[in-house]
Amino acid sequence: MADLRSAVVMAGGVGSRLWPYSRKNRPKQLLPLLGDRTMLQATVDRLAPLVPPERVFVVTNREYVEEVRGQLAGVPAENILGEPEGFGTAPAVALGAAVIRGRLGPGLAAFLPADHSISPHAAFQTTLETAFRAAETGRIVTVGVRPTAPATGFGYLRVGAPLDDAPGAYAVDEFVEKPSLDDAIAYAESEAYFWNAGIFVWDLDVLFAEFKQYLPHLAALGEEMAAAAATPDFVARLDEIWPRITDRTAVDYGIVERSKRVACVPAAFRWDDVGSWSALAAVLGPDADGNVIVGDHIGIGSRQCIVFAKAGRLVATVGLEDVVIVDTGDAVLVCPRDRAQDVRDIVQRLREQGSHELL
């Protein structure tokens, strides 16, 4: 039974750096940013050969539950789990793990973000298969991505020796959160550092044991969730349990970085977090003028621009360089490419102004 495999797709979050396309009511992971399938659908598609849809679970904001059910026709409706409130990834992982244990019993579970770009699918499946096998040894397996740039916004891990009992997996000697630029440059040049992609695989027994050790209060609430998971009044009981959570933290800080059981499987796939318009453009790839264009655009002498116009209207540019333009039906964003990270400041301003219809 130990190798019965499930997956929990983590689909909370808002994606405010992708405003105005990403909104509170239609966040990044529920949008078709990179083709016809939404980020969430693509995530579940990638899992299909390894985890059948009836063993795929999604943890999301409660307000997105119906939308997620609509997007994932093959996944049972009861597998879409709505958090009453977002408290970080540790409670989300606890919820997903508790429901699987309560309904399906022990086994292995992969936890994956719904809003990352991963290709090709076959390479992802190879990596995840390696990670599932490594997790059978009782380790917490994290997938590491070789840095393609000295990013300062990611968490890094340093790998050590290969593990004899887990082919393709390595010991993890150190975690570094959001390094300085100098360190990030050194990490990008080193062979030993990887980005923590937020993809974890572990045995549920190990998971509950680690939670008991490092976040015991949340572990106890997880036991209550597991007991309620197979009952008809699960949602009502979750509403009662959820506000009592005090460990409102990320699973990385709360568990993974403190655990002695962590291993890393290097990713064989290309990975992008698609966290900003610049990052999305890097995935989509430029045309001959260096522009990344989605939608209807006339550019005269424009270069290195990102135009994302899904509102069916024309965006026209003359002699423009290194600028992002995003046109939705009700708003237009214009900013230099190197300020794409600061788009969230617009969202903050809208919140302060009470402009809820644009959030």
Minimum gap (Å) between residue 88 Cβ and a second copy? 27
Are the beta carbons of 307 and 295 closer than 8 angstroms? yes
Minimum gap (Å) between residue 165 Cβ and a second copy? 50
Binding flag, residue 322, a second copy (CB under 8 A) = no
Size of the site for a second copy (CB under 8 A): 34
Of 19 and 187, the one with the shorter C-beta distance to a second copy is 19
Task: Please state whether the peptide bond connecting residue 20 to the residue before it is cis, i.e. omega within 30 degrees of 0.
Answer: yes
Out of 110, 114, 207, 350, point to the residue binding a second copy (CB under 8 A).
Answer: 350
What lies within 8 Å, CB to CB, of 313 at 6+ separation is 296, 327
Minimum gap (Å) between residue 25 Cβ and a second copy? 16
Binding flag, residue 320, a second copy (CB under 8 A) = yes
Stretch that binds a second copy, among 68-76, 195-203, 278-286, 334-342 (CB under 8 A): 334-342
Name 297's bridge partners.
315
Which residues inside 283-312 make contact with a second copy, applying CB under 8 A? 298, 300, 309
Measured in residues, the chain has a length of: 359
Out of 15, 20, 113, 275, point to the residue binding a second copy (CB under 8 A).
Answer: 20
Phi-psi region for residue 44, left (φ > 0), alpha (ψ -120 to 50) or beta? alpha
Binding flag, residue 314, a second copy (CB under 8 A) = yes
Binding flag, residue 342, a second copy (CB under 8 A) = yes
Out of 26, 345, 351, 359, point to the residue binding a second copy (CB under 8 A).
Answer: 345
Minimum gap (Å) between residue 316 Cβ and a second copy? 5
Handedness of CA 252, 257, 261, 266 (dihedral sign): positive
Binding flag, residue 25, a second copy (CB under 8 A) = no
Binding flag, residue 315, a second copy (CB under 8 A) = yes
Give CA–CA dist 312/131, Å, rounded: 43
Give the phi and the psi of residue 165 in degrees, each rounded to 5.
-90, 0
Name 81's bridge partners.
59
CA distances in angstroms from 13 to 91, 146, 245, 298, 299, listed in the order given: 14, 24, 18, 34, 34
Tell me how far the alpha carbon of residue 274 is from its chain's centroid.
Answer: 10
Token readout for 30 is 């529920």
Stretch that binds a second copy, among 174-182, 224-232, 248-256, 332-340 (CB under 8 A): 332-340
Of 240 and 330, the one with the shorter C-beta distance to a second copy is 330
SS3 170: strand
Binding flag, residue 121, a second copy (CB under 8 A) = no
Owner of token pair 């397996």: 141
What does the binding site for a second copy look like in residue numbers (CB under 8 A)? 19-20, 298, 300, 309, 313-320, 323, 325, 327, 329-336, 339, 342-343, 345-346, 349-350, 353, 355, 358
